[in-house]
């Protein structure tokens, strides 16, 4: 018969293992601000989605309207650049009146560079302007 102490200890270990597994699948990190937007803040949350995909939630605040960063820009575009693969447009991030914005999207990649650029259109296949945010995402664990 097990002692009460070993049952509690084993239960605590199981909780710690489960918490560690969940934290390994969930990664929120700050994005680096680029030139021209020093007061802006941004985060990217990468979590495991269906079929091994990566769910992304990008949030920004204190970010200037796109036209103030690049004169022809009307929107911010989020790009995913996997290692050894082409850069992909994964969606447009628009700002509200409080200069806050967000985008939820999905990518099949687990390791990539995420960038946000001001652009004239959300339908581009390559960025035309320098990034306002950059982050390295690695969900390979």
Answer yes or no: is 4 within a domain.
no
Looking up tokens 């806050």, which residue turns up?
A: 100
The 10 Å Cβ neighbour count of residue 112 is 24
Q: What is the CATH number of the domain that holds 30?
A: 2.60.40
Average pLDDT, the chain: 84
In angstroms, the CA 132 to CA 141 distance is: 28
Task: State yes or no: pLDDT of 76 exceeds 60.
Answer: yes
Q: 68: domain range? A: 26-138
Tell me: the pLDDT tens digits for 112-122?
Answer: 999 999 999 99
Q: Report how many domains make up the chain.
A: 1
- Give the helix/strand (H/E) hosting 49: none
Tell me: the pLDDT tens digits for 100-113?
Answer: 999 999 999 999 99
Tell me: the pLDDT tens digits for 51-63?
Answer: 999 999 999 999 9
């Amino acid at each position: 018969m097990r002692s009460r102490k070993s049952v509690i200890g084993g239960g605590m270990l199981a909780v710690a293992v489960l918490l560690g597994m969940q934290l390994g699948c969930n990664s929120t990190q700050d994005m680096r601000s680029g030139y021209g937007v020093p007061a802006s803040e941004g985060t990217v949350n990468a979590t495991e989605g269906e079929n091994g995909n990566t769910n992304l939630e990008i949030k920004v605040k204190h970010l200037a309207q796109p036209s103030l960063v690049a004169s022809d820009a009307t929107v911010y575009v989020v790009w995913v650049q996997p290692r050894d693969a082409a850069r992909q447009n994964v969606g447009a991030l628009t700002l509200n009146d409080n200069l806050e914005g967000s985008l939820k999207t999905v990518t099949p990649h687990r390791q990539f560079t995420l960038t946000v650029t001001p652009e004239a259109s959300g339908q581009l296949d390559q960025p035309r302007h320098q990034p306002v945010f950059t982050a390295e995402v690695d969900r390979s664990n």
